[in-house]
Amino acid sequence: MKKLTNTMDIRVSNAISILQMLRHHPSKTKSKIALDTGLSFSSSSNIASILVDKGLLKIDENSLSTGGRKAACLSFNGDFAYAVVLDLHDNRTGYLGLVNMSNEIKKIVSFEIKSSDTLEDIQSKISEANDDLMKGVTIPIIGVCCAIAAVFLANSNIVLSCSNPVFEGVNIVSIVRDLFNHEFVVIENDANLSILAHSFDDDSASKISIFLTQGVGMGIMINNQLYTGKDGIAGELGHMKVRGESRTCKCGHQGCLRLFIPLESIAYDLGEIKYLEEGLSNMDYASQLAKRYLDGESPVIERVDLAKQKLGETLALLLDIFNPSEFIICGNMSNLFKIIEPGVKEICRDYSKLAKTFDAKITFDTTVPNKIMLIGGSERLFNQWLYDGFERYISD
Ligand SMILES: [Zn+2]
């Protein structure tokens, strides 16, 4: 948090309070803004006028046109700038999106990533996609957020332990700055973005997201703050040991959670991983599995039920540790969610000591993962900008 050392800082801090109050919420009159922020009418009105001048707030047309005496309402203007979100969480497809500051997706461009692609190959694909994305765009770009399925060390800008090895050991910040010719770059773990995409409109959220992709990621939101831990690596759930015997994980051990829940692990155990490797999409494979499950194919039923069982047990453990108000399950196997969803809550209740008394809501979100990344990325970038770029923006 900024220290309130001088008048400018106080004004900036008050302006941020007003923006956060209006962003993702209905419009308010200037008197209501003063009341809800606890500021005097004149200082809140002054700051609101500056924010209108700078294009961050807008005066609601409807409140003006309804005639003479009604006080004008102010709302957040999400289109004052766009975020570019580069989604590299998936090993086979990259996405580049334009998202406005209200987290509305305006445009998406995708590009194929091959397992043989070098870092240079991927850089040129991103560059080409960006040319396509920016065609005809005149709204200012606030910055670039890059979603990555990796441990990212923010103090050294280095990527560790990434699902795509070409990014490991790379200074991703300088690469993204060069590619987009933009100084303001934020790199974030994909699971962290998944929880940001699901909690921005809830002011007191304590929620956990489980982002199922090649691995099992966890996003942790405590009292509306993203929790990332001392080194930024919190939420690595995939290597938690849930069973003694299995094939060996890439970490060298057996029994890791990522060998039981994700779609790839199911494909592997059913002897069908080749279909995914040959190009069948995750979404299509998950659909096929759902159908085969409903058709009564025993090996599929047994294996999908095992994934469901392990998911329920994991939620039970997390409920006891975090006591969240909600779990959000999302990711690339959403076409199987209708099969998995019934029963997970019961498994969670059976395994948790406390779930019967302190239930958590369990939501299965079938939004495609790349859209979750774009929304979470825009949210992450805007919040960082409030602390890094906003003061300069309104002081100019
Ligand atoms: Zn492991």
CATH of the domain at 238: 3.30.420.40
Residue 88 lies in a domain: yes
The alpha carbon of 163 and the centre of ligand 1 are apart by a number of angstroms equal to 13
Ligand 1 centroid from CA 200, angstroms: 31
pTM of the predicted structure, to 2 decimals: 0.93
- Residue 261 lies in domain: 200-364
Cα of 255 vs centre of ligand 1, distance in Å, is 7
In a shared domain, residues 382 and 235: no
CA 162 to ligand 1 centroid distance, Å: 13
Query: Measured in angstroms, how far is the CA atom of residue 330 from the centroid of ligand 1?
Result: 21
What residues pack around ion ligand 1 (CB closer than 5 A)? 239, 249, 251, 256
Asked if residue 348 and residue 232 are part of one domain, the reply reads yes
Give the Å distance between the CA of 196 and the centre of ligand 1. Answer: 26
Name the domain boundary from 76, 102, 135.
76
From residue 332, alpha-carbon distances to 336, 370, 379 in Å are 9, 9, 21
Rounded Cα–Cα distance for residues 250 and 214 (Å): 12
Residues 338 and 260 grouped into a single domain: yes
Q: Please state the φ and ψ torsions of residue 276, each to the nearest 5 degrees.
A: -70, -40
Ligand 1 centroid to residue 177 C-alpha, Å: 33
Task: Give pLDDT, residue 46.
Answer: 92
- Taking CA atoms, 21 is separated from 38, 157, 201, 279, in Å, by 12, 32, 10, 45
Where among 46, 76, 106 does a domain terminate? 76
Q: What is the pLDDT along the chain (396 residues), one digit of tens a residue?
A: 445 556 668 889 999 999 999 998 899 999 999 999 999 999 999 999 999 999 999 998 766 555 555 678 999 999 999 999 999 999 999 999 999 999 999 999 999 999 999 999 999 999 999 999 999 999 999 999 999 998 888 888 888 888 888 999 999 999 999 999 999 999 999 999 999 999 887 777 899 999 999 999 999 999 989 999 988 889 989 999 988 788 899 899 999 999 999 999 999 999 999 999 999 999 999 999 999 999 999 999 999 999 999 999 999 999 999 999 999 999 999 999 999 998 898 999 898 877 677 778 999 999 999 999 999 999 999 999 998 899 888 887
How remote is the CA of residue 190 from the centroid of ligand 1, in Å? 18
Ligand 1 centroid, distance to 249 Cα (angstroms): 4
Whether residues 118 and 191 fall in one domain: yes
Compute the distance between CA of residue 378 and CA of residue 99 in angstroms, rounded to an integer: 6
| C-alpha 38 to ligand 1 mean position (Å) | 50
What is the 113 CA–ligand 1 centroid distance (Å)? Answer: 24
Q: Within this chain, do residues 104 and 178 fall inside the same structural domain, yes or no? A: yes
Are residue 359 and residue 229 in the same domain, yes or no? yes
Residues 6 or more apart from 164 whose CB is under 8 A from it?
Answer: 88, 91, 113, 149
- Measured in angstroms, how far is the CA atom of residue 233 from the centroid of ligand 1? 15
